C-alpha cells in the first residue's frame, strides 16, 4: 500500500483497531504522515509511548503538551517521570510548564533524576519568594545547601548559599542595631536596594559594605569585608565610591 | 496563488490588518479588548487605535494587568495560545468578570496564531470553555521594514536555549510554510546549527503533510501541491546558537546603539522627553496612537522606521559617522531655506517653494530629533565605563588572551557596573574561547554574588544551561577536523573561524565601508559571514587568502550550497545541511511555462535567523545585499527572524530579577 496516494492510513488503522488488531493498527499508523491524526488515535489505543514519540517528531509543542497532560493524569508519577526522562524534549517541556505552577512536581522530578543543582536552585528561588520571613528563608537555603553537600562539583555554589545565610542574619542585626540614618538615601542603584536606609535585608555584600561606609560605620564595614573575604581591591573601590558619595574628602 | 510576485512585506501587513478587523467585525456591537502586552507592539505596526475604535473597540486592557472592567457587554481576548500561563490568566479573568458583573457578558477569544489543544483543555477545566467563542488569528510574520520580517516572539530566545522548548521552531516552520504556500517551495534550504536543522526537517515534514492532505482531498483548495518557487532563490537558516558572541557585543551602528541605550520594541522606542523635547504635535512620528490606557508619563514614544527618510540613511551607519551625516543634512536644509530669498522672486516660484515647505518642516523636526538622540548616545559612549567595556570586548573579539582582561572585569564589578554588562563580557569570553577556566570562573562567580546578590546564583546557573557561561574542559572544548565524530554538540572554534573567514578587519573604513566589519568597528559578525559563504563565495575567498588564512579551494563561482567552505563551516558549532526541494516534474514544467517570461528577474534570498537577530547584523546583511547589487547579481535579501535581540536581552533571559529583600 505504501506509496499509493489517496489512502488515509489513519482510517485504515482505525478500522484495524476496531477489529481488535492493535498491533497491526500501530504498524499501519507509521505510514500516516500527519501527526495531528496519528496522535489522538494512538492515545485512544493506549499506546502512550508511541504517541509521545510521534508528537515529538512532529515538533508541534501543542501536541506534545496534549500527550503529556494526558499521561500525567493517567500514570503514577514515577512511571510518568520514567516515560519523559528518556525524551529530553518532553522533560524540558514538563519543566517549563511546571516552573510557575507546580514546584512540588519539579522537586520530585529532580530528586528522582538526581539533578542536585536544579533541585537546589528551586529551593533558592523559593527562599527568594519567602522574603517576608528571614527565618524561613534561611531554612530553605539550608536545605538547598544540604542538597549539594556530598558533591565536590558544587562547592562554590554551596559556599555562596552558606554565605547568604550568614549575610541575612547579619543584616537582621544591622536593622536592629543601627538607627535609621536620614543621610543615606540614594547612591545605591542596583536592583533590590531600597532607598529606605533602615532596611538592609536584600542588599548584596558589596552594597551592605558600601552603605556601612557611607553611613560612617567603617569598623563594621572592615569586619564585614574580612568575614566574607572581600578582595582588597574590591574593598578599596567600595570605600572610594562610598566616600565620594558621602562627600567625605578627609 | 500568485507565484511570480516576489514576497512583499506590505501585503503581509495588509492581510494581518484585514484579518484582525474581520474578526472584530464578527463580534457584534461595542467591545472591550484585552490584549497580551507583548502583542500590542506588533499589532501597532499595522493597525491604528483609531481604526480599532471604528470597529467598535471601546477600551483596551492588558491581559497582564488583570483589570478589564465590565463596561461593555462584549469582551474580546487576544493572546498567544502557546503559553499555558496566558491561558490560565485568561480563564481567571473570565471567571472574575462573570462574578463581578451585573450583566451577562459575551466572551470571545482570538488565539494567536492558532487554537491549541492545551488551551481548550485548560479552559475546559476552568469551566469557561463553553462560554467563549474561540477563533484563531493566524498572525505569523510582522513586517518591521521592507526587508525585515519578524515573528516578534519575544520569548523565542529563552524558550529555545534556556527551557529547550521548541515551540518557536514550530512557529517559525509554520510561518515559513505560509510563505511557501504563497510563493512556492524554497528551491534550496541551506542552514547551520542544530535548531536550524530541526526547522528544515519540519519544513520538509510539513510539506509532506500538506500533500497527504491533498491526496485525500480533505483541504481541496491547493491544486497542484507545492512546486519550487520562481521568485525565491533559496532559504538560509542560521541558528543563533551558532554565533552567540555577535549578539553579546555592543552594537556600534546608529540603530544598534539606540537599541543598546534605550531599547527598541516593534520599531518604537521610549525616550525621556527632557532629552528630545516635548512631543511636537505637528510631527507625524509622534502618533503613538495604539498606546492603550495607562499613564502617559514623561516618556515619549518615537517611531523608528523607514517613513523617516533621514533615519533610513542613518540607521545602518556606524555611529562614528552619524555626526558628520547630521551635519551635512543640517547644512543642506539651511541652504534651501536661504535660497528662498534669492530664488523665489516670482509668485510662481514662491508658490512652488511654499508647497515644498511642509516637507522641509518634517525634515527639520526629524533632524532635531536625531541630533538630540545622537547627543544622548554620545554621552553614553564617552563615559569611562563604556569605553572600558568596549576595550575588553574588542580585545576578546580580536583574540587576545582572555586572562589579560580579567583585571579589567574585576574592576568593573567593583565599580558596580550594571550586571548585564559584566555578564555580557564573561559570556563573551566563555563563548569565544570555549569556556572559562574552572578557577577563574569560580572567582568571578563569587565576585558577582558578592556584588549583586545571592539571587544571581540562579542567574549563573541559567547562563550555564544556555551554554553561555561554561567551564573549559578538555572534552568538548575544541573542534578540530580530526575529532569529527561528535560534531553534534560541540562549540564554535573561533580561532580558526577568525582566520579562515576574516572576522577581524583592522583597517575598516567606517565612513565608506568596504566590509561588513564596519558594524562592529572591525569585527565581522560570524553569522553574516556564514551567509556570505553561500552568497558571496569569491569575496570571502579573496578576503581570507589576502589575510594569510588557508586559501580554500579555487574559484567555484557557479556552485551553490556550502562549497567550497565545508571545512571551515564544519569548525562551527552544530549541524550543517543543504537540501534541495523538487516538485513533481509535470508541475515543474507547467510552472516553467507559466513563468517563462519572468526568467532572470530579481530573485529573493530569504535569510532566517532562528532565535533572534541583532540590528547590527541586519545592517550588515543590508550591506551584503547592496554589494551583491553592485556585483550585478540581481538578488534581494529578505531577513526573517523570530524576534530582534540585543545583548541585554540575551542576558536578561537568564537574570533573576527578585532579590532576597522582596520585590
Summarize pLDDT for B57-109 with one digit per residue, the tens: 888 889 888 887 778 888 899 988 887 788 888 888 888 888 887 788 888 99
B216 in contact with chain A, both atoms CB, cutoff 8 A = yes
Residues of chain B with Cβ-Cβ distance to A33 below 8 Å are 205, 208-209, 212
Q: Find, in chain A, the residue whose alpha carbon is nearest to that of B411.
A: A234
Is residue B222 within 8 A of residue B601, CB to CB? The reply is no
Domain ranges of chain B: 9-139, 140-243+492-662, 254-274+299-382, 384-476
Q: Any idea which architecture B9-139 has in CATH?
A: 3-Layer(aba) Sandwich (3.40)
A5, A36, A128 member nearest B455 (Cβ): A128
Q: Find, in chain B, the residue whose alpha carbon is nearest to that of A187.
A: B416
Cβ atoms within 10 Å of B313's Cβ, excluding its own: 14
- What is d(CA B499, CA B506) in angstroms, rounded to the nearest whole number? 13
Residues of chain A with Cβ-Cβ distance to B661 below 8 Å are 131, 192-194, 199, 201-203
Task: Give the minimum alpha-carbon distance from B420 to chain A in angstroms, rounded to a whole number.
Answer: 11
A214 in contact with chain B, both atoms CB, cutoff 8 A = no
Would you say residue A163 has pLDDT above 60? yes
- Strands B31-35 and B57-62 come out as parallel
Band (pLDDT 50/70/90 cuts) for residue A201 is confident
Q: Nearest 5 degrees, angle CA B316-CA B321-CA B327?
A: 110
What's the pLDDT at B248?
93
Least confidently predicted of A95-109, A112-126, B111-125: A95-109
Q: Find, in chain B, the residue whose alpha carbon is nearest to that of A193.
A: B661
* Candidates B414, B422, B658, partner chain A, best to mutate (most A CBs within 10 A): B414
Is residue B452 within 8 A of residue B417, CB to CB? The reply is no
Beta bridge partners of B190: B236, B578
Q: Which residues contact A44 (CB under 8 A, 6 or more apart)?
A: none
- Strands B268-272 and B576-580 come out as unpaired
Q: Any idea which architecture B254-274+299-382 has in CATH?
A: Alpha-Beta Complex (3.90)
Q: Which residue has the higher pLDDT, B395 or B599?
A: B395
**What's the mean per-residue pLDDT of chain B?**
81
Q: Find, in chain B, the residue whose alpha carbon is nearest to that of A5.
A: B215
* Candidates A51, A62, A152, partner chain B, best to mutate (most B CBs within 10 A): A62
Is residue B71 within 8 A of residue B57, CB to CB? The reply is no
DSSP SS3 for B303: strand
A33, A36, A60 member nearest B208 (Cβ): A33
Task: Give the minimum alpha-carbon distance from B439 to chain A in angstroms, rounded to a whole number.
Answer: 10
Summarize pLDDT for B312-350 with one digit per residue, the tens: 889 999 999 998 999 998 998 888 877 776 666 778 777
Would you say residue A155 has pLDDT above 60? yes
Would you say residue B26 has pLDDT above 70? yes
Question: What is the gyration radius of the CA atoms in chain B, in angstroms?
Answer: 26
Main-chain phi, psi angles of B230, to 5 degrees: -95, -15
Number of A to B CB contacts under 8 A, please give it.
Answer: 176
Residues of chain A with Cβ-Cβ distance to B657 below 8 Å are 191
B116, B117, B458 member nearest A125 (Cβ): B458
Is residue B122 within 8 A of residue B114, CB to CB? The reply is no
For A91, how many CA atoms within 13 A lie in the half-sphere containing its CB? 17
Question: What ipTM, to 2 d.p.?
Answer: 0.84
CATH topology of domain B140-243+492-662: Rossmann fold (3.40.50)
Helix (H) or strand (E) holding A216, with range, is none
pTM: 0.86
Q: Which residues contact B332 (CB under 8 A, 6 or more apart)?
A: none
Check for a shared fold between B9-139 and B140-243+492-662: yes
Residues of chain A with Cβ-Cβ distance to B452 below 8 Å are 190, 204, 206
Classify residue B523 by its DSSP letter.
Answer: B
Helix (H) or strand (E) holding B474, with range, is none
Angle between helices A134-147 and A116-129 (to 10 degrees): 180
Summarize pLDDT for B411-441 with one digit per residue, the tens: 999 988 999 999 999 999 998 888 888 889 9
- What is d(CA B282, CA A147) in angstroms, rounded to the nearest whole number? 63
Summarize pLDDT for B241-252 with one digit per residue, the tens: 888 999 999 999
Cβ atoms within 10 Å of A152's Cβ, excluding its own: 6
Would you say residue B595 has pLDDT above 60? no
Which residues numbered 29-88 in B keep a CB inside 8 Å of some CB on A? 81-82, 84-85, 88
Which residues numbered 129-158 in A keep a CB inside 8 Å of some CB on B? 129, 131-132, 137, 156-157
Helix (H) or strand (E) holding B452, with range, is helix B438-452
Residues of chain A with Cβ-Cβ distance to B159 below 8 Å are 96
Helical H segments across B70-116, by residue range: 84-100
Cα distance from N-terminal residue to C-terminal residue, chain B:
54
Would you say residue A82 has pLDDT above 80? yes
A5, A132, A160 member nearest B215 (Cβ): A5
Helical H segments across chain A, by residue range: 9-18, 22-29, 35-44, 48-58, 61-74, 77-85, 88-98, 103-113, 116-129, 134-147, 155-177, 205-214, 218-227, 232-246
Angle between helices A116-129 and A103-113 (to 10 degrees): 160
Which residues numbered 94-133 in A keep a CB inside 8 Å of some CB on B? 95-97, 99-101, 117-118, 121, 124-125, 127-129, 131-132
Task: Give the minimum alpha-carbon distance from B436 to chain A in angstroms, rounded to a whole number.
Answer: 15
**Among A95, A147, A140, A88, which residue's Cα sits nearest to residue A120?**
A147
B452 in contact with chain A, both atoms CB, cutoff 8 A = yes
Question: If you average pLDDT over residues B536-553, what whole number do you get?
Answer: 64
**Among B139, B86, B142, which residue's Cα sits nearest to residue B266?**
B142
What's the pLDDT at B247?
92
Residues of chain A with Cβ-Cβ distance to B173 below 8 Å are 59
- What is d(CA A154, CA A64) in angstroms, rounded to the nearest whole number? 34
B81, B450, B663 member nearest A204 (Cβ): B450
Would you say residue B477 has pLDDT above 60? no
Residues of chain A with Cβ-Cβ distance to B447 below 8 Å are 231, 234
Q: Do A129 and B449 touch (CB under 8 A)?
A: no
Residues of chain B with Cβ-Cβ distance to A95 below 8 Å are 163
Band (pLDDT 50/70/90 cuts) for residue B641 is very high
Our separate counts of H helices and E strands in chain B read 26, 14
**What's the mean per-residue pLDDT of chain A?**
78
Pick the CATH number of B384-476 from 3.40.50.720, 1.25.40.850, 3.40.50.620, 3.40.309.10: 1.25.40.850
- What is d(CA B297, CA B289) in angstroms, rounded to the nearest whole number? 15
What's the pLDDT at B546?
61
Residues of chain B with Cβ-Cβ distance to A118 below 8 Å are 461
Summarize pLDDT for B346-391 with one digit per residue, the tens: 787 778 878 888 888 888 888 988 998 999 999 999 999 999 999 9
Cβ atoms within 10 Å of A83's Cβ, excluding its own: 19
Would you say residue B238 has pLDDT above 90? yes
Question: If you average pLDDT over residues B23-29, what whole number do you get?
Answer: 88
Would you say residue B292 has pLDDT above 50? no
Task: Give the minimum alpha-carbon distance from A205 to chain B in angstroms, rounded to a whole number.
Answer: 5
Q: Which residues contact B1 (CB under 8 A, 6 or more apart)?
A: B181, B182, B222
Residues of chain A with Cβ-Cβ distance to B415 below 8 Å are 237, 241
Task: Give the minimum alpha-carbon distance from B82 to chain A in angstroms, rounded to a whole number.
Answer: 7
B485 upstream amide cis, omega within 30 of 0: no
What's the pLDDT at A56?
86
Amino acid at each position: 500500500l505504501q506509496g499509493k496516494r489517496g489512502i488515509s492510513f489513519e482510517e485504515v488503522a482505525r478500522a484495524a483497531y476496531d477489529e481488535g488488531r492493535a498491533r497491526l493498527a500501530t504498524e499501519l499508523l507509521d505510514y500516516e504522515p500527519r501527526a495531528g491524526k496519528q496522535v489522538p488515535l494512538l492515545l485512544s489505543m493506549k499506546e502512550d509511548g508511541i504517541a509521545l514519540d510521534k508528537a515529538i517528531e512532529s515538533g508541534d509543542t501543542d501536541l506534545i503538551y496534549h500527550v503529556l497532560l494526558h499521561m500525567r493524569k493517567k500514570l503514577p508519577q514515577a512511571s510518568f517521570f520514567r516515560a519523559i526522562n528518556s525524551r529530553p524534549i518532553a522533560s524540558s517541556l514538563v519543566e517549563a510548564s511546571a516552573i510557575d505552577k507546580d514546584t512540588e512536581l519539579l522537586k520530585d522530578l529532580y530528586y528522582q533524576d538526581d539533578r542536585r543543582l536544579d533541585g537546589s536552585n528551586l529551593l533558592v528561588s523559593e527562599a527568594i519568594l519567602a522574603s517576608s520571613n528571614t527565618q524561613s528563608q534561611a531554612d530553605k537555603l539550608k536545605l538547598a545547601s544540604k542538597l549539594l553537600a556530598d558533591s565536590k562539583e558544587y562547592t562554590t555554589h554551596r559556599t555562596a548559599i552558606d554565605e547568604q545565610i550568614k549575610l541575612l542574619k547579619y543584616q537582621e542585626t544591622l536593622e536592629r542595631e543601627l538607627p535609621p540614618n536620614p543621610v543615606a538615601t540614594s547612591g545605591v542603584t542596583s536592583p533590590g536596594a531600597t532607598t529606605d536606609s533602615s532596611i538592609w535585608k536584600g542588599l548584596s555584600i558589596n552594597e551592605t559594605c558600601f552603605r556601612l561606609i557611607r553611613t560612617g560605620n567603617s569598623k563594621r564595614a572592615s569586619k564585614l569585608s574580612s568575614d566574607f573575604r572581600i578582595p582588597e581591591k574590591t574593598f578599596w573601590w567600595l570605600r572610594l565610591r562610598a566616600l565620594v558619595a558621602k562627600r567625605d574628602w578627609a | 496563488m500568485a507565484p511570480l510576485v516576489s514576497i512583499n512585506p506590505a501585503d503581509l501587513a495588509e492581510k494581518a490588518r484585514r484579518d484582525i478587523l474581520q474578526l472584530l467585525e464578527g463580534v457584534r456591537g461595542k467591545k472591550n479588548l484585552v490584549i497580551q502586552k507583548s502583542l500590542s507592539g506588533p499589532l501597532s505596526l499595522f493597525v491604528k487605535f483609531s481604526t480599532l475604535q471604528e470597529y467598535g473597540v471601546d477600551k483596551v486592557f492588558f491581559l497582564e494587568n488583570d483589570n478589564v472592567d465590565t463596561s461593555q457587554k462584549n469582551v474580546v481576548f487576544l493572546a498567544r495560545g502557546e503559553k499555558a500561563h496566558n491561558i490560565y490568566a485568561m480563564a481567571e479573568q473570565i471567571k472574575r468578570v462573570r462574578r463581578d458583573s451585573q450583566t451577562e457578558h459575551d466572551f470571545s477569544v482570538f488565539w494567536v496564531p492558532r487554537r491549541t489543544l492545551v488551551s481548550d483543555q485548560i479552559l475546559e477545566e476552568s469551566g469557561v470553555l463553553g462560554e467563549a467563542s474561540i477563533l484563531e488569528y493566524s498572525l505569523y510574520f510582522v513586517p518591521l521594514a521592507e526587508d525585515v520580517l519578524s515573528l516578534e516572539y519575544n520569548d523565542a530566545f529563552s524558550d529555545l536555549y534556556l527551557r529547550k522548548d521548541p515551540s518557536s521552531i514550530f512557529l517559525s516552520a509554520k510561518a515559513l510554510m505560509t510563505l511557501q504556500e504563497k510563493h512556492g517551495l524554497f528551491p534550496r534550504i541551506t542552514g547551520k546549527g542544530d535548531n536550524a536543522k530541526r526547522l528544515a526537517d519540519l519544513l520538509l515534514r510539513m510539506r509532506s503533510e500538506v500533500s497527504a492532505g491533498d491526496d485525500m482531498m480533505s483541504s481541496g483548495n491547493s491544486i497542484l501541491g507545492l512546486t519550487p518557487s520562481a521568485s525565491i532563490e533559496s532559504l538560509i537558516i542560521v541558528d543563533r546558537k551558532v554565533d552567540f558572541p555577535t549578539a553579546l557585543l555592543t552594537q556600534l551602528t546608529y540603530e544598534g546603539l539606540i537599541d543598546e541605550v534605550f531599547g527598541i520594541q516593534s520599531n518604537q522606542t521610549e525616550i525621556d522627553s527632557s532629552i528630545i523635547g516635548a512631543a511636537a504635535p505637528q510631527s507625524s512620528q509622534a502618533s503613538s496612537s495604539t498606546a492603550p490606557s495607562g499613564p502617559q508619563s514623561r516618556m515619549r514614544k518615537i517611531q523608528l522606521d523607514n517613513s523617516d527618510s533621514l533615519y533610513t540613511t542613518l540607521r545602518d551607519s556606524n555611529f562614528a559617522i552619524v555626526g558628520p551625516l547630521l551635519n551635512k543634512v543640517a547644512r543642506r536644509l539651511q541652504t534651501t531655506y536661504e535660497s528662498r530669498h534669492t530664488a523665489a522672486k516670482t509668485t510662481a516660484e514662491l508658490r512652488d517653494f511654499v508647497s515644498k515647505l511642509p516637507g522641509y518642516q518634517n525634515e527639520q523636526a526629524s533632524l532635531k530629533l536625531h541630533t538630540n538622540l545622537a547627543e544622548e548616545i554620545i554621552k553614553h559612549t564617552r563615559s569611562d565605563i563604556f569605553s572600558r567595556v568596549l576595550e575588553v570586548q574588542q580585545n576578546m573579539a580580536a583574540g587576545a588572551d582572555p586572562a589579560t582582561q580579567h583585571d579589567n572585569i574585576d574592576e568593573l564589578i567593583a565599580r558596580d557596573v550594571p550586571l548585564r554588562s559584566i555578564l555580557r563580557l564573561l559570556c563573551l569570553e566563555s563563548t569565544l574561547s570555549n569556556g572559562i577556566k574552572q578557577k577563574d570562573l569560580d572567582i568571578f562567580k563569587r565576585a558577582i554574588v558578592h556584588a549583586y546578590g545571592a539571587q544571581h546564583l540562579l542567574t549563573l546557573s541559567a547562563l550555564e544551561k544556555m551554554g553561555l557561561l561554561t567551564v573549559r574542559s578538555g572534552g568538548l572544548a575544541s573542534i578540530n577536523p580530526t575529532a569529527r565524530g561528535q560534531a553534534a554538540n560541540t562549540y564554535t572554534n573561533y580561532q580558526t573561524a577568525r582566520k579562515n573567514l576574516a572576522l577581524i578587519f583592522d583597517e575598516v573604513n567606517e565612513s565608506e565601508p568596504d566590509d561588513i566589519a564596519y558594524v562592529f568597528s572591525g569585527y565581522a559578525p560570524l553569522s553574516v559571514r556564514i551567509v556570505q559563504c553561500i552568497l558571496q563565495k569569491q569575496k570571502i575567498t579573496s578576503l581570507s587568502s589576502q589575510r594569510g588564512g588557508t586559501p580554500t579551494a579555487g574559484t567555484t563561482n557557479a556552485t551553490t550550497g556550502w562549497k567550497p567552505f565545508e571545512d571551515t563551516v564544519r569548525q562551527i558549532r552544530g549541524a550543517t545541511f543543504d537540501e534541495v526541494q523538487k516538485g513533481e516534474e509535470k508541475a515543474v514544467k507547467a510552472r516553467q511555462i507559466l513563468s517563462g517570461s519572468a526568467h532572470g528577474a530579481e530573485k529573493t534570498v530569504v535569510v532566517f535567523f532562528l532565535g533572534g537577530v541583532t540590528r547590527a547584523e541586519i545592517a550588515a546583511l543590508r550591506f551584503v545585499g547592496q554589494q551583491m547589487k553592485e556585483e550585478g547579481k540581481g538578488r534581494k535579501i529578505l531577513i526573517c527572524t523570530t524576534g530582534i535581540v540585543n545583548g541585554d536581552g540575551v542576558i536578561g533571559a537568564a537574570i533573576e530579577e527578585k532579590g532576597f529583600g522582596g520585590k
